Amino acid sequence: MQIDWERAINDIFIDRLSCPRCGQDQTEMIAGYSRKPSLNGFAPRHRNCPRGDECDARKLITLCEDCARAEVLPGTPVDAALAIETYMLDCRRDLEESLDFLADYWRDEYELSPEDLDHGLEDVDPEAFSDETQWRQRLEEEYLRYHREFRQRNRRVPGAGWRSEYVEEIRALGYDTLLGD
């Protein structure tokens, strides 16, 4: 089952939570983390993942209380407002992962020569770099959406310093970001 992410997010923005497993509207849902691929369909942010249904990365899953119990998903209850915050923090983690990958981790995936140590992923594997850039751009667009939502609701963005730190670090690597001013 593929969850309609756009709709799920839009619903949350108008304070409606609907369980992706039973389809019922809820005022609260359980938000938890799982690596089980069988739960991928219930991961609101897990769309466009290149690994699709097989993906066993740690994912944020949201289910109503009954469904969470049925699927043995541990988690905490969230209302719509808290759900957006949870999504936003999860999105930040993805962006940090992308940042770490661009900074260092990509090197583990290649047989590099000593000269390559001065090079970035864009020199060594332009195609992989372009994929990663597109992926990061999607995450940044998603992030901006949460950010706008917090502003419109006159709510304080949690850990507001995160954004400028991220921008600083990504620019230090020589890359551009949509999150800059």
Q: Would you tell me which residues interact with Zn ion (CB under 5 A)?
A: 19, 21-22, 49, 51, 55, 57, 64, 67
The two tokens of residue 6 are 């756009």
**Integer Cα distance of 129 and 125 in angstroms:** 6
Q: Name the nearest CA neighbour of 95 among 174, 181, 162.
A: 162
Q: Which of 109/168 has CB closer to Zn ion?
A: 109
For Zn ion, the closer of residues 47 and 107 by Cβ is 47
CB of 167 to Zn ion, least distance (A): 25
Of 57 and 112, the one with the shorter C-beta distance to Zn ion is 57
The least CB distance from residue 155 to Zn ion, in Å, is: 27
**Cβ(122)–Cβ(129) below 8 Å:** yes
Our CB check for Zn ion shows the closer of 21 and 163 to be: 21
Is residue 16 within 8 A of residue 64, CB to CB? The reply is no
Q: Where do the DSSP E strands lie in the chain?
A: 17-18, 25-26, 29-34, 59-63, 76-78
CB 55 to Zn ion: min, Å: 3
Output the smallest distance, CB 121 to Zn ion, in A.
20
- The Cα–Cα gap between 149 and 152 comes to 5
Q: How far is the CB of 31 from Zn ion (least distance, A)?
A: 13
Q: Which is nearer to Zn ion, 51 or 151 (CB)?
A: 51
Contact between residue 28 and residue 77 where contact means Cβ atoms under 8 Å apart? yes
